[in-house]
Structure 1
Amino acid sequence: MGRKAAFPASPLLADLRELILQARWQVARTVNSGLILLYWHIGTRIRRDLLKEKRAEYGEKIVQAVAAQLAVEFGRGYSRRNLFQMVRFAEVFLDPKIVQAVPAQLSWTHLVEIIRLDDPLKRDFYIEMCRVERWSTRTLEKKIGSMLFERTALSKKPAKLAEMELKQLREQDKLTPDLVFRDPYFLDFLRLKNTYAEKDMEAAILREMEAFILELGVGFAFLERQKRVSVDGVDHYLDLLFYHRNLQRLVAVELKLEDFKPGDKGQMELYLGWLNRYERREGEESPIGLILCAGKRHETVELLNLERSGIQVSSYWTEALPRVEMERKLHEAVTLARARLNLKGP
């Protein structure tokens, strides 16, 4: 009887597993990139050869016939609907070099969601956020549905500045607070009804912390509630303290049931100064603050120049609005913010 083979040493087994998993990932990445480029070429050919004439109805009939033949040989992935998605892909990304530069983290299903957007800046934003935060297609769909782009400070900037910030993110992986913070935040999942106190909101956030962090965005890690801040023998209490891995800094969060008031700035500056002195670790950036309030007056916020203090003021909605009303409100906010920036000038 032969002797039993000795069980391989754990470091060896771990190394072999790593080699196999890495090879699988590389193969999947290569296949994904190849398929995306293939779909672009198919869309380009159909657009050029079949839909170049203005007789759209005639072109659609031919695409229908082509789809039927391709589906028989290659499967349902080449249905009429999918072929027109490939055409749209080719229309949105005219240059094959741009297609080849699409991040490996994005699958074809990601791109199908993104090419539905008409605004190039918005498309770039979602492509980069998918890459950085590694969103699934379902998450991307939810983020677009919740109008995430319109809720960032980036959307309120002039197009050229926004493009520069996205380019910086693409080339240097540098995430800025303007890409991280939202305004407003949707807190309908807290199920707060009628009248409630700050402690009720805080308790609801702690109860629904996973959902709250999903709304805050990827990278936030919860550290403490009611963080004690002792200054000159007087105790103050910060509502919530987080750490953001990508920004590499502490994030202080204060909850306000009323509209933002100028005095809220001084309170947050005190917390940030204390955190910077006593809690900030080597290699971290300066702490920043988020004041979540029921509402805010734009001129008050502008005059206080909160950005210099590292403070973001955002409103929150505790009830979900109908889609049409939400779109109207957010588009209004973006338009007004851009108009105010234009008035201020360079």
Structure 2
Amino acid sequence: MLTPSNQYLQAVEEINDYVNQAKCRASVSVNSEIMKTNIFIGNVIIRNSEWGNKFVENLSKDMKMRFPSAKGYSVRNLKYMKKFAQIFTEDDIDEYGLGRITWSHHQILMSKVSNREEYIWYLEKTLEHKWSVDDLTSQVKSQLYERQAVANKISNFERRLPAEQKDMVLSTMKDPYMFDFIDYTEEMLETDIENELVKNVTSLLMELGTGFAFMGQQYHLEVGGKDFYIDLLFYNTKLRCYVAIDLKTGEFKPEQAGKMNFYLSALDDLVKAPEDNPSVGLILCRDENRTIAEYALRDMSKPIGVSEYHLCTDLPLDLKNALPAVEDIRSRIDMKK
């Protein structure tokens, strides 16, 4: 029997990696052919659109008769093919990697996304994060594009970060953050919300985005013989920097920027390694008050962003007020008895 050696194990890993990559290439190749076929069929439907829905209905029946074992020729799916061909051409398949995600991913995007630019953005994020169909659905539902790609974010990153870092940090930041995995009650304090975030750290990391590693809650810093604590501390492997988060239950206040500026100075001196990029601060509050936040950040020496965060509530207040009270429902039931 061959005794495993480093050389042998390395050979096994080399073959394993190649086989997995070959499977991936084969999958992408098959998917690309599916995308080409769907665009071709979609264009045929577009060319015969003067016949209306009857053309699609008849086409669906005929294709099912000719290819009885094949799936995907329902009226609904043929309409998706038409829409796909209206958005993309065959040349786009390789350019944007359309074949690197499944047709089910594309169906979600076609049904929920309003324009091509947003569609491609979600496509790129799906490839970057390896989102499943359910993951993609959840991100689209949370309006990630609006919160991360086009939101008018509050920060001083443009003035306080090196050119090569600021764009990456800005693209990572969201406004607002959606912590809808927390059941919020009016009695909750900052520490309660903080504890719930840590308890649901997997969901928290997914909402923060790629590369975030949790370093600690109430992270301790000793400065001048006194103790200070950062609410939540992360390290981002893509940004190669520490990210300090200060969590507030109310509206943004100017003094919070000064406190974060102090934390970042201490982190850069006491924790940051020489090869790390400058630490970044993020103040999360229920009401960011843009004007006050922009004034507060203007002369801060450290890179700081301010965003709102939303929590899960039982019902929106306006909807809750529109519904009858439990006692009212009970009295109506009693009247009918």
Bigger drift between 218-227 and 184-193 goes to: 184-193
Q: Which runs of 5+ in 1 are unaligned?
A: 158-171, 327-346
1:101 paired with 2:95, answer: yes
Q: CA deviation at 1:146?
A: 1.0
Q: Which one of the candidate residues 142, 148, 157 is aligned to 1:146? A: 142
Q: Match of 1:134, as an amino acid?
A: K
Question: Which entry has the higher C-alpha Rg, 1 or 2?
Answer: 2
| Cα distance in 2 between the residues matched to 1:186 and 1:273 | 28
Distance 1:322 1:110 in 2: 30
**CA contact under 8 A between 1:240 and 1:252: conserved in structure 2?**
yes
Letter in 2 for 1:225: Q
SS of aligned partner of 2:312: coil
1:256 aligns with 2:248: yes
1:28-74 CA distances to partner (integer Å, 9 max, x unpaired)?
Answer: 111112211221122112212x11x3xxxx33111111111212333
Residue 114 in 1 paired to residue 109 in 2?
yes
* Between 185-194 and 298-307, the greater mean CA deviation after superposition: 298-307
> Equivalent residue for 2:214?
222
Any residues of structure 2 matched to 1:1-346 within 5 Å, and which?
6=2, 9-48=8-47, 50-51=48-49, 53=50, 58-74=51-67, 75-93=70-88, 95-103=89-97, 105-116=100-111, 117-152=113-148, 154-156=150-152, 176-305=168-297, 309-320=302-313
Query: How many angstroms apart in 1 are the aligned matches of 2:169 and 2:103?
Result: 29
- Asked whether the equivalents of residues 186 and 320 of structure 1 are also in contact (C-alpha less than 8 Å), the reply is no
Q: CA deviation at 1:155?
A: 3.6
Task: Quote the residue 2:158 is aligned against.
Answer: none
Does the 8 A contact of 2:183 with 2:314 survive in 1?
Answer: no
Instruction: String of CA shifts for 1:114-143, please: whole Å, max 9, x gaps.
Output: 223223332232122112222112111111
CA deviation after TM superposition for structure 1 residue 195, in Å: 1.2
Higher relative contact order (CA 8 A, sep 6+): 2
TM-score by length of 1: 0.78
Asked whether the equivalents of residues 220 and 228 of structure 2 are also in contact (C-alpha less than 8 Å), the reply is: yes
Structure 1 position 297, deviation (Å): 1.1
**Paired residues of 2:257 and 2:297 also in contact (CA < 8 A):** no
Deviations 1:89-126 (A, max 9, x none): 11112x43223212254222222222232233322321
Pair 254,297 (structure 1): closer, same or farther in 2 beyond 3 Å: same
- Output the amino acid matched with 2:28: R
Q: How far apart are 1:7 and its partner, in Å?
A: 7.3
User: What SS does structure 1 have at the residue aligned with 2:96?
Assistant: coil
Aligned-partner Cα distance in 1 for 2:101–2:152: 26
What is the CA deviation profile of residues 282-303 of structure 1, one whole-angstrom value per residue up to 9, with x for unaligned ones?
4332111111112121111222
More moved, 310-319 vs 27-36: 310-319
Q: CA deviation at 1:87?
A: 0.6
Unaligned runs of 5+ in 2: 154-163, 320-337
SS at match of 2:250: coil
Give the TM-score taking structure 2 as reference length: 0.80
Structure 2 CA distance for partners of 1:98 and 1:238, relative to 1, 3 Å = same
Q: How many residues matched? A: 300
Note if contact 2:297-2:304 (Cα within 8 Å) is conserved in structure 1.
Answer: no
Deviates more, 1:256-265 or 1:215-224: 215-224
Shift of 1:321: 7.9
Looking at structure 2, the residues matched to 321 and 90 of structure 1 have their Cα atoms a distance apart, in angstroms, of 41
Q: Per-residue deviation at 1:312?
A: 1.5
